[in-house]
Chains A and B, each alone.
Chain A
Amino acid sequence: MAMTSLEVKKKTFRWALWLGWQLDSNWTEPWLFAIYVLVKPLTSSLLLVCMYFAARQVTPWVPVDFLPYMYIGNACFMLIGSVMFGMSQAVLTDREHYRMLKYIYIAPGHLQTYFVGRAISGAFQAVLGGLINITIGALTFPEVRHALTRQPTEWGWLAVYLVLGTMLLTALGLILTAIVLNMNRQGMFLSEGISGILYLVCGVVFPISILPHWLSWVSVILPPTYWLEGMRRAILGVPAEKFLDSPLSHWGHPALAAALAGTTLGLLILSQFVFRWSERRAWRLGKFEEQSGA
Chain B
Amino acid sequence: MSSSFGLFFRTIIARAYPRIIGVRRQPSWVIHEAILPLLSVAAYAYIYRAMKAPESYIGFVLLGGAMTAFWLNVLWSMGAQLYWERSSGNLELYIMSPSSMMAVLAGMALGGMLLTMVRASVILLTGILLFQIPFHASSWPLLIGVFLLTLLALYGLGMMFASVFLLFGREAWHWVNLLQEPVYLLTGMNYPLRIFPTLLASCAAVIPLTTGMDAMRQILFADAGFFPLWLNILTLSGLSIFYLFLAWRMLKFLERKAKEEGKITVKWQ
Interface residues of A (CB under 8 A from B): 27-28, 36, 39-40, 43-44, 46-48, 50-59, 61-62, 66, 70, 97-99, 186, 189, 192-193, 196-197, 199-200, 204-207, 210-211, 243, 293-294
Contacts and interface: CB of A to CB of B under 8 A. Distances in A.
Interface in B46-70: 46-54, 57
B185 A43 contact: yes
B54 A54 contact: no
Contacts, number: 115
18 contacts: A28-B174, A39-B182, A43-B182, A50-B185, A50-B191, A51-B191, A52-B51, A54-B192, A57-B194, A57-B195, A58-B57, A59-B51, A99-B268, A193-B36, A196-B37, A200-B42, A204-B43, A210-B46
A212 to B, nearest CB: 10
A62 B32 CA distance: 34
A51 B43 contact: no
A244 to B, nearest CB: 9
Decide if the interface of chain A is mainly helix, strand, loop or mixed. helix
Given A51-B47, A51-B191, A55-B53, A196 B181 contact: no
Given A44-B181, A47-B185, A294-B84, A206 B36 contact: no
A51 B39 contact: no
* Residue picked from A53, A205, A206, most chain B C-beta under 10 Å: A206
Given A44-B181, A53-B195, A97-B87, A193 B51 contact: no
A84 to B, nearest CB: 14
9 nearest A-B residue pairs (beta carbon) = A189-B32, A196-B39, A54-B191, A43-B181, A55-B53, A55-B51, A206-B50, A200-B43, A27-B170
A51 B48 contact: yes
A147 B226 CA distance: 33
Contacts of B84: 294
Contacts of A36: 174, 178
A55 B88 contact: no
Given A27-B170, A50-B191, A54-B191, A193 B49 contact: no
B177 A40 contact: yes
Contacts of B221: none
B50 A66 contact: yes
Interface of B: 28, 31-32, 35-37, 39-40, 42-44, 46-54, 57, 84, 87-88, 169-171, 174, 177-178, 180-182, 184-185, 188-192, 194-195, 268
A36 to B, nearest CB: 6
A62 B48 contact: no
A76 to B, nearest CB: 15
A186 B32 contact: yes
A189 B76 CA distance: 14
Nearest to A50: B191
B42 to A, nearest CB: 6
B181 A58 contact: no
A98 B267 CA distance: 9
B171 to A, nearest CB: 5
A86 to B, nearest CB: 13
Contacts of B57: 54-55, 58
Contacts of B268: 97-99
A150 to B, nearest CB: 21
A184 B247 CA distance: 34
Contacts of A204: 43
A243 B47 CA distance: 13
B182 A200 contact: no
A51 B36 contact: no
A39 B181 CA distance: 8
Nearest to A63: B51
A205 B36 CA distance: 18
Nearest to B186: A43
Contact of B47 (A28, A56, A205): A205
Contacts of A196: 36-37, 39-40, 43
A210 B48 CA distance: 10
Nearest to A293: B88
A94 B127 CA distance: 37
B43 A47 contact: no
A36 B174 CA distance: 8
Nearest to B182: A43
B178 A58 contact: no
B40 A193 contact: no
A87 to B, nearest CB: 17
Nearest to B61: A51
A199 B43 contact: yes
Contacts of B47: 48, 51, 70, 205-206
Nearest to B60: A54
Contact of B39 (A62, A66, A199, A211): A199
A59 B181 contact: no
Contacts of A97: 87, 268
